[in-house]
């Protein structure tokens, strides 16, 4: 039930706006942190965690030495709600997560939920 409510809140908050990944990066809130493992391994963990929720979809893109994950709501054709950029930093990875300004829920909390156990 909570998943359904969360999806409805995000879906409702995104309705009517066209948000591309570049707009999310330019206009959204930014959150940074560190993850265990190389960028591709860390990105796979994040994407798996997001998709197991059932109400979010991801697409992963290799960009030079970084991996980007685009996140959108699974219900219908929704705009991008978050963009993760993950780069290797020694034995770990650093991430920058951008959350769309159109998302009307706690951005820090949504990043934490997306990150899940991938610390």
Backbone angles phi, psi at 87, to 5 degrees: -125, 140
For 75-92, what is the mean pLDDT?
A: 87
Q: What is the pTM of this model?
A: 0.79
For 10-29, what is the mean pLDDT?
A: 70
**Banded pLDDT at 94 (limits 50, 70, 90):** very high
Domain total of the chain = 1
Task: State the alpha helices, DSSP H only, in 1-119.
Answer: 2-14, 21-27, 39-52, 107-115
Looking at the DSSP bridge assignments, the partners of residue 87 are: 66, 94
Query: How much is the CA Rg of the chain, to the nearest whole Å?
Result: 13
Closest CA to 85 of 102, 58, 61: 61
Cα–Cα distance measured from residue 40 to residue 11, given in angstroms and rounded to the nearest whole number: 29
**Banded pLDDT at 56 (limits 50, 70, 90):** confident
Question: Do you know the residue count of the chain?
Answer: 119
The CATH code of the domain that includes 70 is 3.30.310
Q: Does 113 or 84 have the greater pLDDT score?
A: 84
Task: State which residues form the domain around 25.
Answer: 2-115
Confidence at residue 119, expressed as pLDDT on a 0 to 100 scale: 77
């Amino acid at each position: 039930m909570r998943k359904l409510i969360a999806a409805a809140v995000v879906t409702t908050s995104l309705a009517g706006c066209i948000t591309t990944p570049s707009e999310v990066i330019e206009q959204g809130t930014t959150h940074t942190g560190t993850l265990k493992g190389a960028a591709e391994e860390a990105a796979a963990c994040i994407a798996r965690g997001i998709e197991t929720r059932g109400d979010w979809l991801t697409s992963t893109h290799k960009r030079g030495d970084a991996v980007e994950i685009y996140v959108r709501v699974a219900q219908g054709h929704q705009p991008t709600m978050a963009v993760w950029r993950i780069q290797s930093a020694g034995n770990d990875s650093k991430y920058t997560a951008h959350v769309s300004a159109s998302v009307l829920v706690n951005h820090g909390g949504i990043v934490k939920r997306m990150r899940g156990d991938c610390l």
